[in-house]
Amino acid sequence: MCNTVAVTRARWTTETTPLPPHALEWLSQRVGLGEPLPEVPVTAPPSALSADAFEALEAVSAVSVEDADRLGRSGGLSYLDLLRHRGHGALAVPDAVVQPASPAEVLEVLQVCVEHDIAVVPFGGGTSVVGGVEALRGPKSAVVALDLAGLGSLVSVDPVSRVAVLQAGVTGPEAEKLLGEHGFTLGHVPQSFERATIGGFAATRSAGQASAGYGRFEDMVESVRVATPVGEWVVGGAPASAAGPDLKQLVLGSEGAFGVITEVSVRVRPRPYGPRYEGFVVDGWEAGVALVRTLAQDGVLADITRLSDVEETEVALELAGPRAATLKKYLRFRRVAQPCLVILGWECRSREATMSSLSGHKVVRLGRAMGASWLHGRFNGPRQRDALLDAGVCVETLETATHWSRVSEMWAAVRDALVAELGDAVVMCHISHAYETGASLYFTVLVPRDLSDPVGQWERAKVAASEVVSRLGTITHHHAVGRDHLPWLEREIGSIGVGVLRAVKDRVDPTGILNPGKLVQGRLGSAGGRLGASPGTPGHIREY
Ligand SMILES: Cc1cc2nc3c(=O)[nH]c(=O)nc-3n(C[C@H](O)[C@H](O)[C@H](O)COP(=O)(O)OP(=O)(O)OC[C@H]3O[C@@H](n4cnc5c(N)ncnc54)[C@H](O)[C@@H]3O)c2cc1C
């Protein structure tokens, strides 16, 4: 049997940070707080896994049909997921949780699932915010969550080449601890770092906060070991290769639809000596965009480069507590009419090069205290979501990327779409990652929850924003496609692109057991179909 793990989907759980009273007061004045949501108890429906299938799975791996285990792997951590775990919206509960302990066991589990016609949802940290781990059964007889937590080792380190092999279930903090013992770092710190896993990073082409210095996750990967229903596939293995198209990139971003990543070989770097983080302010969004573009195009971005718009800066200053008034006074004294906060952090790149390029721009330096404050609170967003939900606030994020020439158009269009749908909402935005040709925009929305229809309130806003985003840039810069972005995928990659994904899927997963309804629908049986086992509460069944 699996052990029940401390995964309660309705809460971030590792560490929940309460909202400071002044933040709550500001929020209630700015948009108002919603009514507390009535608690609706969530129960797991009976498992649809047959006794034969259970026995066959138990013969090769740890397996559990306990309610707590199944509820703990029911969906990811989007706002809608959190609502579902509070009893609002249809919860997809897997029929069983399978927890293999080795790559060989993963292969055996897949064989059993093919034989018994069971859908398999690979489950890493379960931090997906796009429905990537939703337990959709499709036309299969049952659906299992394949929890990779048992693959938690550092397999090898090659200090000469600076390459390490990590198993898929290793979390962000565990990877840093294991590599740190050898004097190395991966340098991959997304905001979901505390819970997300190596396999999840690879499966979603994740981007960490210091991506300008260390690269996106796919830039770090040397090779990937993947279990598929038709056998094991090892892709990559040299620092560079011209042996045809880079098939490694087919696995990276495959979201569990082409196979289960069991091991990832990654480039590592020596741990940074004396990292430094600083805060700056520019006057107005356009000035900030021009500044970040210059740094990117001059090749002197800091490892961490973030530009907040006026609204996000206002919130950051409000949350600074007693220091806020002094800071605002200082910015008025420096004649900054529309403060936009810039956070720069250096871990492996040259600070001097960035600072020299900055000298051509009008910036107000806030110094290392502001940088330290950002570093200290870098994971507060996820930790405070629970407190915001408790306070009756709808809180969600969305992200995209576009070329520099369209950044401001995108910024305005997404804001307008969200405000048109949600009314008087706080819509904050920052540039989270920058490239020579463009940047990613990351939006955070806060609005009082609509008590009569909390799910529909966000679903409609997300559709409105996705329509805009898919017209002006990519549907996702780092959150992946999952189920939520699937309706807009063809618009981005074209019908030939969708056909290519389908052909790969049919080759590696001919019976369509892998992650139905996510990223791609194969020839056979991988349409999203019904939810996992029928939800216990009447009216909670969604058909797709
Ligand atoms: C608060 C918050 C902040 C976030 N911030 C960031 C951010 O800064 N940058 C960023 O990139 N993302 C971010 N995300 C999104 C999410 O954390 C990433 O997509 C992350 O890479 C998912 O890792 P995971 O281990 O949790 O994967 P899961 O959520 O478990 O799975 C994600 C997808 O990958 C598949 N999958 C997982 N493991 C495997 C495997 N071993 N083999 C095959 N398929 C697998 C799943 O089936 C699913 O489709 C954030 C999410 C939250 C909730």
Average pLDDT over residues 417-432: 96
Residue type (1 letter), 208: G
Residue 433 C-alpha to ligand 1 middle, in angstroms?
18
Q: Is pLDDT larger for residue 18 or for residue 95?
A: 95
The whole-number pLDDT of residue 532 equals: 42
Do 105 and 208 fall within a single domain? no
Q: 270, 302, 320 — which closes off a domain?
A: 270
- What whole-number distance in Å separates Cα of residue 426 and Cα of residue 254? 34
The whole-number pLDDT of residue 244 equals: 95
| Ligand 1 atom 48: residue of nearest CA | 132
Do 158 and 137 fall within a single domain? no
The whole-number pLDDT of residue 539 equals: 26
Residue 202 C-alpha to ligand 1 middle, in angstroms?
9
Q: Which atom of ligand 1 is nearest to the CA of 197?
A: 25
The whole-number pLDDT of residue 380 equals: 80
Q: Which atom of ligand 1 is nearest to the CA of 201?
A: 21
Q: In this structure, what CATH number is given to the domain that contains residue 189?
A: 3.30.465.10
Do 174 and 252 fall within a single domain? yes
Average pLDDT over residues 483-498: 96
pLDDT for 415 beyond 70? yes
Q: In this structure, what CATH number is given to the domain that contains residue 525?
A: 3.30.43.10
Residue 347 C-alpha to ligand 1 middle, in angstroms?
24
Q: Is the CB of 76 under 6 A from ligand 1?
A: yes
| Any domain includes 410 | no
Residue 200 C-alpha to ligand 1 middle, in angstroms?
5
Q: Is the CB of 532 under 6 A from ligand 1?
A: no
**Which 3-state string (H, E, C) describes 409-433?**
HHHHHHHHHHHHHHCCCEEEEEEEE
The whole-number pLDDT of residue 16 equals: 64
Q: What is the number of structural domains in the chain?
A: 2
The whole-number pLDDT of residue 13 equals: 53
| Ligand 1 atom 2: residue of nearest CA | 192
The whole-number pLDDT of residue 420 equals: 97
- Domain ranges, residue 56: 21-150+502-531
Q: Which of 519, 488, 389 is nearest to 84 (CA)?
A: 389
- What whole-number distance in Å separates Cα of residue 2 and Cα of residue 97? 7
Contact (Cβ atoms closer than 8 angstroms) between residue 524 and residue 511: yes
Q: 270, 286, 308 — which closes off a domain?
A: 270
| Residue percentage of the chain with pLDDT more than 70 | 92
pLDDT for 125 beyond 90? yes
Do 60 and 143 fall within a single domain? yes
Handedness of CA 191, 195, 199, 200 (dihedral sign): negative
Confirm whether the ipTM is greater than 0.95: yes
Q: Is the CB of 129 under 6 A from ligand 1?
A: yes
Residue 294 C-alpha to ligand 1 middle, in angstroms?
31
Pocket test for ligand 1, best of 7, 77, 171, 192 (most atoms within 8 A of CB): 192
Average pLDDT over residues 182-209: 97
- What whole-number distance in Å separates Cα of residue 439 and Cα of residue 472? 12
Contact (Cβ atoms closer than 8 angstroms) between residue 402 and residue 441: yes
Residue 206 C-alpha to ligand 1 middle, in angstroms?
7
Query: Residue 146: pLDDT band by 50, 70, 90 thresholds?
Result: very high
Q: Is the CB of 196 under 6 A from ligand 1?
A: yes
The whole-number pLDDT of residue 522 equals: 61
Contact (Cβ atoms closer than 8 angstroms) between residue 311 and residue 427: yes
Query: Residue 35: pLDDT band by 50, 70, 90 thresholds?
Result: confident
Residue 401 C-alpha to ligand 1 middle, in angstroms?
18
Do 161 and 183 fall within a single domain? yes
Do 253 and 199 fall within a single domain? yes
Do 83 and 99 fall within a single domain? yes
Q: 209, 243, 270 — which closes off a domain?
A: 270
**What token pair was written down for 24?**
């709550």
Query: Residue 377: pLDDT band by 50, 70, 90 thresholds?
Result: confident
Q: Is the CB of 169 under 6 A from ligand 1?
A: no
Pocket test for ligand 1, best of 5, 14, 109, 128 (most atoms within 8 A of CB): 128
Give residue-wise pLDDT tens across range 58-95: 999 999 999 999 999 999 999 999 999 889 999 999 99
- What whole-number distance in Å separates Cα of residue 174 and Cα of residue 64? 25
Give residue-wise pLDDT tens across range 320-334: 777 788 899 999 999
Q: Is the CB of 382 under 6 A from ligand 1?
A: yes
pLDDT for 467 beyond 90? yes
| Any domain includes 254 | yes
Q: Is the CB of 124 under 6 A from ligand 1?
A: yes
